[in-house]
Chain A
Amino acid sequence: DAGVTQSPTHLIKTRGQQVTLRCSPKSGHDTVSWYQQALGQGPQFIFQYYEEEERQRGNFPDRFSGHQFPNYSSELNVNALLLGDSALYLCASSLIQAGNTEAFFGQGTRLTVV
């Protein structure tokens, strides 16, 4: 079992550009959540996808959007990048039938905006 995989591992973008991050959930999981972890901070919830729909959203602007595919994998898109978007982006997968009581995290994508 490969667990949760994220790509790419590192990324450098310029202000104003757009970026897409990808996540494959743990085998058997159907729910994907995205978190942003700024340096020295705890992860903050961005949004959650289940059945290809955004089910819940944290306090992030519309520049942050996502998608879930039929195979449960997911993408996080960020438009009009700001320097403040530099962070570690974590994907977590879980199983709704288990009450989503345990989330497994990927290694993250380190995004640097210059």
Chain B
Amino acid sequence: AQSVTQLGSHVSVSEGALVLLRCNYSSSVPPYLFWYVQYPNQGLQLLLKYTSAATLVKGINGFEAEFKKSETSFHLTKPSAHMSDAAEYFCAVSVNSGGSNYKLTFGKGTLLTVNP
């Protein structure tokens, strides 16, 4: 079974500073990896995904993540934080076991606050 661990339930940065949200995964087969963002009282919006192509994945709003198999990590970064980045971020893993047997397994989330 696959699992996700997000290190740090709360990360606080200053506006303009680097954002680094950590995600480690466990999977017995090559995984698909995702980062989602959730604003208060909203659903989940896909930021980016890794599906076994390029290991450095660029997403929306200036975010990117790098798949590192040796470290089983998929950390999310953004060079310069903006106030609008304040939200909850979820890392998720999925394995394609054939057919429609696909589901997302989420981490517990990291709340990002951005200070002016």
Contacts and interface: CB of A to CB of B under 8 A. Distances in A.
Contacts, number: 73
Instruction: For chain A, give the interface size range.
Output: 20 to 34
A6 B45 CA distance: 15
Instruction: For chain B, give the interface size range.
Output: 20 to 34
A43 B44 contact: yes
Given A55-B100, A56-B103, A101 B32 contact: yes
Nearest to A10: B41
A74 interface: no
Interface string A94-114: 101001111111111010000
Interface of A: 4, 6, 31, 33, 35, 40-45, 48, 50, 55-56, 58, 90, 92, 94, 96, 99-108, 110
